[in-house]
Chains A and B, each alone.
Chain A
Amino acid sequence: MNEGGRYEIRIQGHLDGRWAAWFDGLSLTRESDGTTVIHGSVLDQAALHGLLGKVRDLGLPLIAVTQAEPKQMKGIQR
């Protein structure tokens, strides 16, 4: 339960690429709908909550947190 994984955190507004370092080196993708997705590998739950705390402290409106399906797993029976 405490495992990490690949997560996507979606926030309102576009975040400049310089903020990647702020978010522990995760990737930032600016979407055409005016949101930004912060995504990548997160070490564990504590790290995830740490990231959400940073989002909160910057006053970034939080839209969604989802666990990303690794692309290679698509179509494989679990």
Chain B
Amino acid sequence: MTRPLLETKFYVPRPRRRLIARPRLIERLNQGAESKLILISAPAGFGKTTLLAAWLAASPDGRRTAAWLSLEQSDNQPTSFWTYLIGALQTVAPGVGVGALSTLQSTQPPIEVVLASLLNDLSALSYEIVLVLDDYHVVDASDVHDGVVFLLDHLPPQLHLVITSRADPPLRLARLRARGELAEIRAGDLRFTPDEAATYFNEVMGLDLEAREIAVLESRTEGWIAALQLAALSMQGRRDVADFVAAFAGDDRYIVDYLVEEVLQRQPERIRGFLLQTSVLETLSAALCNAVTRQDDGKAMLEALERGNLFVVPLDDRRRWYRYHHLFRDVLRAHLIEERPDDVAELHRRASEWYEQNGERPEAIRHALAARDFGRAADLVELAWPALRRNRQEAMLRGWLAALPDELLRNRPVLSNAYAGVLLVSGELDGVDARLRDAERWLDASEAPRVQAAGIVVVDEEEFRRLPGSVALHRAGHALALGNLAETAKHARRALDHALEDDHLSRGGATAILGLAAWAIGDLETAHRTYAAGMAGVQRAGHISGLVGRAITLADIRIAQGRLCEALRTYEHALQLATEQDAGVLGATADMYVGMSELHCERNDLDAATQDLRKSHELGEQSGFPQNRYRWRVAMARILEARGDLDGALDLLHEAEPLYMSDLSPNVRPIAALKARVNVRQGRVGEAVGWAREQGLATDDDLSYLREFEHITLARLLLARGSVPEATQLLERLLRAADEGARNGSVIEILVLQALAYQMRGNNPAALVPLERALRLAEPEGYVRMFVDEGPPMAALLEAAAKRGIAAEYARQLLKAFGKAEDRSAANQVLIEPLSERELDVLRLLGTDLVGPEIASQLMVSLNTVRTHIKSIYTKLGVNNRRTAVRRAEELELLARSQSQ
């Protein structure tokens, strides 16, 4: 961040020269420094900032180490807010938050990940810091509040937080109060007492007021400091102080209005004019004021105002930047609108020009919009886009673009395209097409930019040259988001055709999208290579885009290719990088663990698989990408299935179904098909048949990669129904397609089914042919459940294979794995309705001291699920309480099996 105004955001205000000593409040603050949070909550004009400045300067052992952040409207969103907060901390602790900042600016991580990194850094400090967040009332975005609550919950002892606000912020204050972790200073505390008012008027301001007059002023203003200051200013140099006090007391007008008018009336015309004109500014410098007033006395004016205590507040040490006190400025603005309404737009325009010339584009844009000079604002937004895009500050653009009239945007292709890009990034797919069409109108038949077109407005020439590639890239992204693969590939290729050599962003992005499209049509080797290349390109452009960037995508492709070892390496590598670089840079860690769980499950290491899911669960439901909640449940279902708990697996799949969120990877394992497989395994063929009908699946379908999983499932269904010839025909066709695409994961499964089909026709020797190929492909990758899931029929084939020396070692290892899965306690068979695996798990825990919620946590399910299981257990055992259930279980020796599951 190189904005020159940055310094002013972090500036720690110096204490004022002429100050009332307020030892009572200073003492409150000293004590409050022991708490997590000091909150100073009072309306404008109560001296919050003045008090803090005095306190920070007066600390017993020299200045406290204080960091300051002056918040503005534009900080009301997470990226800006946290970026500036870390920036403020870095003014006193340079190494802090470096990892957090890079995470924040790369993917769109959950804020807890960013803050965890920051909190770690803070915990390592050897000194304490006070961080002041000034004007917190400008924040009303709930996600920012949530982050601050998280920060407060985990605040290390090295950091003390002070928040000033004009309204109580929604930061769970009641809870902090109850725990004694909150120190508060409110308006009632900040008001000047009559004694303080007396000191102020007579000693600080050199007036000579009588006690009675002071009492009247104090009563009328209720100790409101800003009002007292204005009153003092109005009385300085006046002979008729008594008249003033009397008039003031008898007036009902809004105090600030009345007093400011009094003050204004007594100013020479030049000063009055200066005050009104510069009231349009948020911050003032001599040069900026001159630009706005078209005079050259800015410096002298500001110094005079500061000397006269006329409500200018310095924002840095070198007296370059000031601002007016909020109340004062608001009244000035109201006067300006009333007295010189036609001047307002012009004043904003002058400010906008000055800011642009001095390299402060966001300010220039704000003033242009305030001037309602939309043409100018549009020009500036167009120029601002590339930098904002790189820094992932699209949200800022979103607000500005929304303020511009549509007719204006239609002639500005670069801006229309930018708008489309911003909408895509924020997931607002509806408006994208219209904006892209607006941009495309300005491309000719060969899709080159129509440079000579009449009526076109282009400000950023370079972006204009990039336009064809950029528009095509946005179209590709849009098509992908809508699931339209053919369009996606078409547009991505167009983007590559049109993109300039050095446009890494467009080229990388288009390449990555082509990778995803290749995946969807089953060309997996191309998909992996292309996607990886695309991501490298995007990173070279300095972007680490959240839309398409996930290591998990590459691992998924490897699994589909049957290359489990490489997939596992991809996960492990990503996890290692994530821990090295402060979690979050490469996408959420939670997703990696779920992916690894699936691999461990396939290799029949069910303990490791469960551990992986536990680790993922501990990272919290919110910490993965949105799709993780779905994937976690599907992975858990797979583990349950491996342990023989088919009902439990179905329950989880059912839970997972509504959680499916379409991300940009193809949905190659639809949940309906997963459920159908479990049904087939349970012998509930009717339901599976229903599924096939619903999906419109038939054996003579054209085959496509997207439906491969479903068609294989259909083949299983056919075998389960005994329709062997049909199944065989389908399997043959599937095998050819899978071999063509080198999709070994599918090839192995198809070969296994072919072997079983032969077996069903009584031709065991023939079965060994596909089985041998399957074994040879599977052995180096460590597949286990692929075979073991097929049960006793497969066991028989494996024995035959071992006897004939076909992959004998491997076959024998697999045979060993069969033993575990079918080990059901004999006693469980005695019950009319045996307990499921899950129910046995619960029953086991009922024999311990754990209460319901703890059992739920241990098993990683909801409390409701546990209750359902318990009800079922009681019914099946014929009991109605916990102790009896456990006793009955012992009698039946239900829990005598090994704990190794």
Chain B residues 540-568 with CB under 8 Å of chain A are none
B97 within 8 A of A: no
The reply to whether the CB of A5 lies closer than 8 angstroms to some CB of chain B is no
A18-B334, A21-B334, A21-B338 known; A57+B326 contact, CB < 8 A: yes
A56 touches B338 (CB 8 A): no
- Residues of B at the A interface (CB closer than 8 Å) are 43-45, 137, 166-167, 224, 226, 252-257, 326-327, 330, 333-335, 337-338
Residue contacts A-B, CB under 8 angstroms, 20 given: A13-B254, A15-B254, A15-B257, A16-B257, A19-B334, A22-B330, A22-B337, A56-B43, A56-B166, A56-B167, A57-B43, A57-B166, A57-B330, A58-B254, A58-B256, A58-B327, A59-B43, A59-B44, A59-B45, A59-B224
- CB B391 to nearest CB in A, in angstroms, measures 28
Question: With contacts A58-B330, A59-B224 known, is A21 near B337, CB below 8 A?
Answer: yes
Please pick, from A14, A21, A57, the residue contacting B254 in the complex, using a CB distance under 8 A: A14
Asked whether B253 lies within 8 Å of A13 as measured between CB atoms, the reply is yes
Q: How far is the CA of A18 from the CA of B334 in the complex (A)?
A: 7
> In whole angstroms, what is the CA distance A76 to B253 when docked?
38
Bound-state CA distance A65–B107 (Å) is: 44
- Interface status of A42 (Cβ within 8 A of chain B): no
Q: How many residues of A contact B (CB 8 A)?
A: 17
CA distance A18 to B332 in the complex (A): 11
Nearest B residue to A36 via CB reads B254
Cβ of B334 and Cβ of A13 under 8 Å apart?
no
Interface centre among B45, B226, B327, B338 (most CB of A within 10 A): B338
**Shortest Cβ gap from A59 to chain B (Å):** 5
> Is A75 an interface residue when CB atoms closer than 8 A count as contact?
no
Beyond the given A14-B252, A57-B330, please list 13 additional residue pairs across the A-B interface where CB-CB is below 8 A. A11-B254, A13-B254, A15-B253, A19-B334, A22-B337, A30-B252, A56-B137, A57-B44, A58-B254, A58-B327, A59-B45, A59-B256, A60-B254
Q: Which residues of B contact A34 (CB under 8 A)?
A: 252
Of all A-B residue pairs in the complex, the 4 with the closest CB atoms, nearest first, are A18-B338, A13-B254, A14-B252, A59-B43
Quick one: CB contact mask for A15-55 with B, threshold 8 Å, 1 for yes? 11011011000000010001010000000000000000000
List chain B residues, Cβ under 8 A from A16.
Answer: 253-254, 257
Among the interface residues A11, A16, A56, which one has the most CB atoms of the partner chain B within 10 A? Answer: A16
Most-contacted residue by chain A among B224, B226, B335, B337 (CB, 10 A)? B337
Closest-by-CB residue of A relative to B341 is A21
CB atoms of B334 and A22 under 8 A apart: yes
Point out the residues of chain A lying under 8 angstroms from B166, CB to CB.
56-57
Shortest Cβ distance from residue A47 to the other chain B in the assembled complex, whole angstroms: 14
Query: Within the complex, what minimum Cβ distance (angstroms) separates B170 from chain A?
Result: 14
A residues within 8 A CB of B256? 58-59
Residues of the B chain whose Cβ atoms lie less than 8 Å from the Cβ of A36: 254
- Residues in A with CB closer than 8 Å to B327 are 58-59
A16 to B256, CA, bound (A): 11
For the complex formed, measure the closest distance between the CB of B85 and the CB atoms of chain A, giving whole angstroms.
Answer: 23
B333: A residues at CB distance < 8 A: 22
Residues on B with C-beta less than 8 A from A58 are 44, 254, 256, 327, 330
Chain A, Cβ-Cβ closest to B43: A59
Chain B residues near A59: list those with CB within 8 A. 43-45, 224, 226, 256, 327
How far is A7 from B262 in the complex, measured between Cα atoms in Å?
A: 32
Chain A residues near B45: list those with CB within 8 A. 59
Considering the chains assembled together, what is the distance between the CA atoms of A59 and B337 in angstroms? 20
Residue of A nearest to B251 (CB): A14
Shortest B225–chain A CB gap in Å is 11
Contacts of A30 in B (CB 8 A): 252
> Which residue of the partner chain B has the closest CB to A31?
B252
Q: Which residues of B contact A56 (CB under 8 A)?
A: 43, 137, 166-167
Q: Separation in Å of the B224 CB from the closest CB of chain A?
A: 7
Residues from chain A with a CB closer than 8 A to the CB of B137 are: 56
Shortest CB-to-CB span from A15 to chain B, Å, is 5
Residues of chain B contacted by A18 (CB below 8 angstroms): 334-335, 337-338
A32 (CB) vs chain B CBs: closest residue: B252
- Tell me the minimal C-beta distance from A44 to chain B in angstroms: 16
B254 → chain A closest CB, angstroms: 4
The reply to whether B255 and A13 form a contact with Cβ atoms under 8 Å apart is yes
Contacts of A13 in B (CB 8 A): 252-255
For B43, the chain A residues whose CB sits under 8 A away are: 56-57, 59
